[in-house]
Amino acid sequence: MPVKVKLLRYTNDAELLCGAAALTSTRSGTPSEILRKLDPETARQVIKRVTGYGHGSVIEHASFTFSIEGVSRAMTHQLVRHRIASYTQQSQRYVAYDMLESYVTPPSIENDGEAKKLYDQALASISRVYEALLKMKIPKEDARFILPNAAKTNIIVTMNARELRHFFNLRCCARAQWEMREVATEMLRQAKKAAPALFENAGPTCVELGYCVEGKMKPAECNLEEIRQRFKKL
Ligand SMILES: Cc1cc2nc3c(=O)[nH]c(=O)nc-3n(C[C@H](O)[C@H](O)[C@H](O)COP(=O)(O)OP(=O)(O)OC[C@H]3O[C@@H](n4cnc5c(N)ncnc54)[C@H](O)[C@@H]3O)c2cc1C
């Protein structure tokens, strides 16, 4: 199933704004004057230089809002662990579980006939009981107790560019769960298109640092050069 991620809105002139923020610390003019006079190429160079010193706060001035659609509750439970962000998620108290659009199937199950049969049977059974509970006038907020991690959901998330880069470090990594990784990688692709200077060299930690920090947990299949090339082309 292709992930559905849409970059809905982002800060106007995000690179100019962050460049002006960076220059505010070293120039005598006001932020508004600096912003008015700043050209895109200078802004890009300044962002690169200042974030290279580790002053990541200058890119906190740019925010990005994504719609993440039809993903599992298992995925959003991980997403909302990232605290420097704003979220609004579809409520299972108000919106009934949709029998037709109901659940996400992991590829490992989708590609295994026997596992898929068992999985679909279990999910169909949950759906039947859920419907029956609603017909018995059990409130949605109680009927939802039987819904699985696989249940589909929609969520809107806003993060600033610094938090997004941190999020990409952790969640574009091969160690991240597959659905989380797909969503994070698509968010990076769209954010990078909108503001390339803010997301230059962004991706899993190995892409930024040039080495893996996972130690013994490093997945055997990881090939640093291949990963770097893949994220460079995003
Ligand atoms: C591969 C993987 C496996 C994981 N497995 C588990 C697991 O088994 N169990 C589990 O519970 N979680 C797990 N997590 C979630 C993980 O522990 C973090 O909760 C999650 O990734 C959010 O990251 P964060 O805390 O760095 O960042 P964010 O919440 O995105 O915050 C960004 C940064 O802000 C700073 N910050 C934010 N809040 C505070 C604070 N209160 N105090 C000090 N500094 C703060 C930190 O520097 C932090 O890195 C896993 C994550 C990954 C990527």
Same domain, 62 and 163: yes
CA of 80 to the centre of ligand 1 (A): 10
Residues 122 and 201 in one domain: no
Section 32-36 average pLDDT: 97
pLDDT digits (tens, 9 = 90+) for 199-230: 999 999 999 888 889 888 999 889 999 999 99
| CA–CA gap between residue 9 and residue 29 (Å, rounded) | 30
**Interval 72-118: pLDDT, tens:** 999 999 999 999 999 999 999 999 887 666 899 999 999 999 999 99
Q: Is 134 found in the same domain as 166?
A: no
Residues 57 and 112 in one domain: no
Are 63 and 115 in a shared domain? no
Tell me, yes or no, whether 75 and 174 share the same domain.
yes
- Compute the distance from residue 79 Cα to the ligand 1 centre, in Å: 10
pLDDT tens string 122-175: 999 999 999 999 999 999 999 999 999 999 999 999 999 999 999 999 999 999
Probe ligand 1: pick from 59, 77, 166, max atoms within 8 Å of CB?
166
Write out the catalytic residue numbers. Answer: 171
Give the relative orientation of helices 161-171 and 178-194 as an angle to the nearest 10 degrees: 140
Indicate if 111 and 129 belong to the same structural domain: yes
For tokens 């699985």, what's the residue? Answer: 148
Residue 94 within a domain: no
Burial of 74 (0-12, 13-18, 19+ CB in 10 A): middle
Centre of ligand 1 from the C-alpha of residue 143, in Å: 31
Are residues 51 and 117 located together in one domain of the fold?
Answer: no
Q: Is the pLDDT of residue 1 over 60?
A: no
> Does 11 share its domain with 79?
yes
What six digits make up the tokens of 194? 């909108």
| The pLDDT of residue 113 | 97
Mutational test site, ligand 1, from 59, 78, 159, max ligand atoms within 8 Å of CB: 78
Atom of ligand 1 nearest to the CA of 180: 53
Q: Are residues 75 and 119 in the same domain?
A: no
Distance set, CA 195 to CA 16, 20, 44, 181, 229 (Å) = 10, 15, 10, 21, 19
Strands 4-10 and 85-89: unpaired
Structural domain span for residue 198: 4-87+153-233
Cβ of residue 217 lying under 6 Å from some atom of ligand 1 = no
Residue range 182-203, pLDDT digits in tens = 999 999 999 999 999 999 999 9
Number of domains in the chain: 2
CATH of the domain at 65: 3.30.1360.170
